[in-house]
Structure 1
Amino acid sequence: MSKAAIQFFRGVNEPVVPDIRLTRSRDGRTGQATFRFEQPAAIAPETMGDITGMWMVDEEGEMVTREVNGKFVNGTASALEAVYSWKSEEDFERFMRFAQRYADANGLGYSQSQDSGQTDAADDQQA
């Protein structure tokens, strides 16, 4: 099966790897993952079409969020931020399986913030 990918347009994998931050409620049942893409291909001038969601696709299927916002600098799109929320432990576990596959496919590692309870996905090549 194809490797894990993120898509803003169905069938078109986004090549830019995002910074991902996770937060969870104290009981662990609910939470969200915030994805920030700097200069993603999806907002390049030659890209046609409206962004209506972010799809996370892997061998188990797909998850989608419609909460996608553009960030602008001097009137020019510079980044996309998407938030995926879960409402159950099962949804969180499914998200984490996708996140592990996506990390493996893109050479990423995880780091856990001691104070905030947040987890960051970071590129292994960065210092």
Structure 2
Amino acid sequence: MDSQVPTIQFYEGISEQLSNVSLRRDRATGAKLAILIFEQLKSIEQFNSFRNRFSGSLQLIDDEGTISIEPAGVKFIFGGPEGDDLERVECTLEIDRDDYWERFMRFMHRYADANGMAYGDASPRGE
């Protein structure tokens, strides 16, 4: 049996490369937040978003199946000399159930292992 390589897709069939992840807790609601950071999006760069159907949610695919989650927000950050170079995309996921969070974390561990990423605590600012 072949195992499913963990993938992240905004558009069906177009796998995106995650650059970083920030895990947080919303102080007001207590909900767990995951901020997925992409330095580029293949679907935008290749104009695939115009040829493929947007699913309306982010698809996280691995051996356990597919997680479909609607982002709480997507932020495009631009920079460069003219201010029109895409620097990164931040996709915020709000996960309020512990069982969903555990499933998300299992996916993230598989994704990290498959893509050479490692977990590390963020150091306090100024250090």
Separation (CA, whole Å) in 1 of partners of 2:112 and 2:35: 15
State the TM-score, normalizing by the size of structure 1: 0.72
The letter of the residue matching 2:70 is T
CA pair 19-81 structure 1, distance change in 2 beyond 3 A: same
Q: Unaligned stretches of 5+ in structure 2? A: none
Secondary structure in 2 matching 1:108: coil
Separation (CA, whole Å) in 2 of partners of 1:104 and 1:20: 14
The letter of the residue matching 1:93 is E
Secondary structure in 2 matching 1:79: strand
Hey, which bits of structure 1, 4+ residues long, moved more than 6 A? Answer: none
Separation (CA, whole Å) in 2 of partners of 1:62 and 1:53: 11
Map of 1:110 onto structure 2? 119
User: Once the two structures are superposed, what CA deviation does each residue of 1:63-85 show, in whole Å capped at 9, x if it has no partner?
Assistant: 22333332233234442211111
Give the Å deviation of 1:6.
0.6
Give the Å deviation of 1:105.
0.8
State the TM-score, normalizing by the size of structure 2: 0.72
- How large is the Cα RMSD of the aligned pairs? 2.5
Give the Å deviation of 1:13.
0.9
Q: Is structure 2 residue 101 aligned with structure 1 residue 92?
A: yes
Q: Is structure 2 residue 59 aligned with structure 1 residue 55?
A: yes
The letter of the residue matching 1:65 is E
CA contact (8 A) 1:5 1:57 kept: yes
CA contact (8 A) 1:54 1:68 kept: no
Give the Å deviation of 1:10.
1.2
How many equivalent residue pairs? 113
CA contact (8 A) 2:18 2:36 kept: no
Map of 2:4 onto structure 1? 2
The letter of the residue matching 1:95 is F
The letter of the residue matching 2:48 is T
CA contact (8 A) 1:43 1:77 kept: no
Map of 1:68 onto structure 2? 74
Q: Unaligned stretches of 5+ in structure 1? A: 117-127
Structure whose alpha-carbon radius of gyration is higher: 2
Percent of paired sites with the same residue: 29
Map of 2:39 onto structure 1? 38
